[in-house]
Amino acid sequence: MKATEVVEKLKTRFPGEPEYIQAVSQVLGTIEDEYNKHPEFEKANLIERLCIPDRVIEFRVSWVDDKGNVQTNMGYRIQHNNAIGPYKGGIRYHKSVNLSILKFLAFEQTFKNSLTTLPMGGAKGGSDFSPRGKSDAEVMRFCQAFMSELYRHIGPDEDVPAGDIGVGGREVGYMFGMYKKLTHQFQGILTGKGQEFGGSLIRPEATGYGNVYFLENMLKTRGDNLKGKTVLVSGAGNVAQYTIEKLLQLGAKPLTCSDSDGYIYDPDGIDEKKLAYIMELKNVERGRIKEYAEEYPNAVYHEGEKPWFEKADIATPCATQNEINEEAAKALVANGVIAVSEGANMPTVPAAIKVFQDAKILYCPGKASNAGGVAVSGLEMTQNSERLKWSREQVDEKLHAIMNDIHENCVKYGTQPDGYINYVKGANVAGFLKVAKAMMAQGIV
Ligand code: NDP
């Protein structure tokens, strides 16, 4: 079956799942040439089997809020593909979560995990529960209720979840505690765990650091580096915070960050002290980014807007999917942006990607540039299996090496005859080939 036919069939089969169809269409559009070189793939109907998740688990989560009201949310786990290793992928708690979003994320995760060079399949899960505005006790009760169903479907050699939007160290800790109580087992069942109970050093930093290591590699292809570059960052959560930290270490000047209510622009740059303020504000006080402009009056808060219309050298979206539209992409290009590196998953809509590629600027999709998070999750699994803990330096060195390898693979499969590196194609083809070969070897299952 041709790629376009597969997409049409999926549209009919899964109506009302636009993000999933968007992700599948984007990938299939770039791997078609490679796919056509392998008639054996076609015979095994490989593409259709690779696009449809192995398993979709959907459940009700009931919990009691602080006022004694019984609340109901939906819980999901999408086990997309385990051809190259146990299912692996984050859990997202956000009010926007639905089946379509989690299916797109699980599909993307399969390619991303393949790119890391580590043995991990692809999965994603979550709930339409939002931790925003909830007390610690409510978050704990929700996490326990969620795990009281999920525990049946996961295991260290079966499926190993991690964090994502709305799921950080606190939530992972509560879920781990419930898993342990239900199973009587202390296992490496989640990654992103606390340092005291099996967590890997550098895991919190990994996605942001990896994003900047990748960016550095992209700039190097043009004989450039991060020194003195101004950068627009979106988000103010885990990925944004450690992206900013690494940008500062490498001499760049981050100008913005955001949350779902708006963004701040700081013309003086966000320095280490201001970053520490953001971390305290978002991770401890669980406040809003507009408070930054009250603390640092030179900064301006823009309610309900995104940072892409400011002038800078580089943009790195680190909040959520579809946050750069065509208009924003055109503004970035007009303002002279030279590189866009995605910390978030699928933050750029297809028309905007085309704008970047037509302008021949450096543009990398999240499945390559944000793969550092899951890569260190893979390293956490290894440490848990070994019952050992590696030093910060050891983990950071491995993360850096993995990001370099991913970049090299993108260059290998994505370099066009005119020399332009199509990172989208490179990442998709490299990720696809490994999974496809494993699926072929394992027969029709
Ligand atoms: P966090 O929950 O720590 O932070 C998310 C940030 O994005 C918050 O500032 C949040 O604002 C903002 N945000 C969330 N939804 C929206 C929205 N609809 N519109 C505008 N802003 C929004 O999540 P992470 O930093 O972990 O994740 C960010 C992105 O990175 C996601 O796309 C995730 O899938 C991806 N990613 C994360 C990895 C990880 O290791 N954590 C690994 C690889 C990818 P608010 O506080 O208002 O909700």
Q: Please, what is the end-to-end C-alpha distance for the chain in angstroms?
A: 18
CA of 345 to the centre of ligand 1 (A): 9
Q: Whose CA is nearest to atom 30 of ligand 1?
A: 344
- Mean pLDDT lowest for which of 3-12, 68-77, 153-162, 258-267? 3-12
DSSP letters along 244-270, please?
Answer: HHHHHHTT-EE-EEEETTEEEE-TT--
* For the chain, the helix, strand and coil percentages under 3-state DSSP, each to the nearest 5: 50, 15, 35
Nearest CA to 373 among 228, 196, 214? 214
Listed in order, strand segments (DSSP E) in 109-168 are: 122-127, 159-162
Among the four given CATH numbers 3.40.140.10, 3.20.20.70, 3.40.50.300, 3.40.50.720, the one describing domain 206-364: 3.40.50.720
- For residue 162, which atom of ligand 1 is closest to its CA? 40
Nearest CA to 411 among 345, 364, 352, 357? 364
Q: What percent of the chain has pLDDT over 70?
A: 100
Of 105, 238, 323, the residue with max ligand 1 atoms within 8 A of its CB, to mutate for a pocket test, comes to 238
The finding on whether 319 has its CB within 6 A of some atom of ligand 1 is: yes
Output the pLDDT for position 99. 98
Pairing of strands 122-127, 339-341: unpaired
Alpha carbons 243 and 136: distance in angstroms, whole number: 27
pLDDT band for position 3 (cuts 50, 70, 90): confident
The finding on whether 373 has its CB within 6 A of some atom of ligand 1 is: yes
Q: Whose CA is nearest to atom 20 of ligand 1?
A: 260
Per-residue pLDDT, averaged over 32-49, amounts to: 93
Q: Whose CA is nearest to atom 15 of ligand 1?
A: 320
Out of 124, 193, 229, 306, pick the active-site residue: 124
Alpha carbons 199 and 389: distance in angstroms, whole number: 8
Output the pLDDT for position 4. 82
Q: Whose CA is nearest to atom 22 of ligand 1?
A: 260
Rg, Å, the chain Cα set: 21
Burial class of residue 201 in the structure, from the number of CB atoms within 10 Å of its CB (0-12 exposed, 13-18 middle, 19+ buried): buried
Q: Is the pLDDT of residue 379 over 90?
A: yes
Question: Would you kindly state where each structural domain of the chain is located, as residue ranges?
Answer: 3-185, 206-364
User: In the annotation, is 103 catalytic?
Assistant: no
CB atoms within 10 A of CB 422: 17
What's the pTM value of the predicted model, to 2 decimals? 0.96
Output the pLDDT for position 107. 98
Burial class of residue 438 in the structure, from the number of CB atoms within 10 Å of its CB (0-12 exposed, 13-18 middle, 19+ buried): middle
Tell me the per-residue pLDDT of 107-130, one tens digit each, with 9 for 90 and over: 999 999 999 999 999 999 999 999
Nearest CA to 148 among 183, 114, 122? 183
Q: What percent of the chain has pLDDT over 90?
A: 98
The finding on whether 164 has its CB within 6 A of some atom of ligand 1 is: yes
CA of 238 to the centre of ligand 1 (A): 7
Q: Residue 221, Cα to own-chain centre: how many angstroms?
A: 24
Alpha carbons 389 and 379: distance in angstroms, whole number: 10
Q: Phi/psi of residue 378, each to 5°?
A: -60, -40
Q: Is the pLDDT of residue 384 over 90?
A: yes
Q: Whose CA is nearest to atom 35 of ligand 1?
A: 344
Query: What is the SS3 string spanning 266-311?
Result: CCCCCCHHHHHHHHHHHHHCCCCCHHHHHHCCCCEEEECCCHHHCC
Per-residue pLDDT, averaged over 63-74, amounts to: 98
Contact yes or no for 86/189 (Cβ under 8 A): no
pLDDT band for position 25 (cuts 50, 70, 90): very high
The finding on whether 317 has its CB within 6 A of some atom of ligand 1 is: no
Listed in order, strand segments (DSSP E) in 344-434 are: 362-364
Per-residue pLDDT, averaged over 132-150, amounts to: 97
pLDDT: is 1 or 339 the higher one?
A: 339
- For residue 346, which atom of ligand 1 is closest to its CA? 32
CA of 237 to the centre of ligand 1 (A): 6
Q: Whose CA is nearest to atom 28 of ligand 1?
A: 319
Alpha carbons 3 and 7: distance in angstroms, whole number: 6
Output the pLDDT for position 297. 97
Per-residue pLDDT, averaged over 269-276, amounts to: 98
Output the pLDDT for position 319. 98
CA of 314 to the centre of ligand 1 (A): 19
CA of 96 to the centre of ligand 1 (A): 12
The finding on whether 426 has its CB within 6 A of some atom of ligand 1 is: no
The finding on whether 113 has its CB within 6 A of some atom of ligand 1 is: no
Alpha helices in 14-135 (DSSP H): 18-36, 39-43, 46-51, 99-115
Question: Please, what CATH class does the domain formed by 3-185 belong to?
Answer: alpha beta
* Same fold flag, 3-185 and 206-364: yes
Tokens 């529960």, residue located: 129
Of 165, 281, 285, the residue with max ligand 1 atoms within 8 A of its CB, to mutate for a pocket test, comes to 165
Task: Calculate the average pLDDT of the chain.
Answer: 97
Token couple for 78: 């999408």
Q: Is the pLDDT of residue 2 over 90?
A: no
CA of 73 to the centre of ligand 1 (A): 20
Output the pLDDT for position 188. 96
The finding on whether 207 has its CB within 6 A of some atom of ligand 1 is: yes
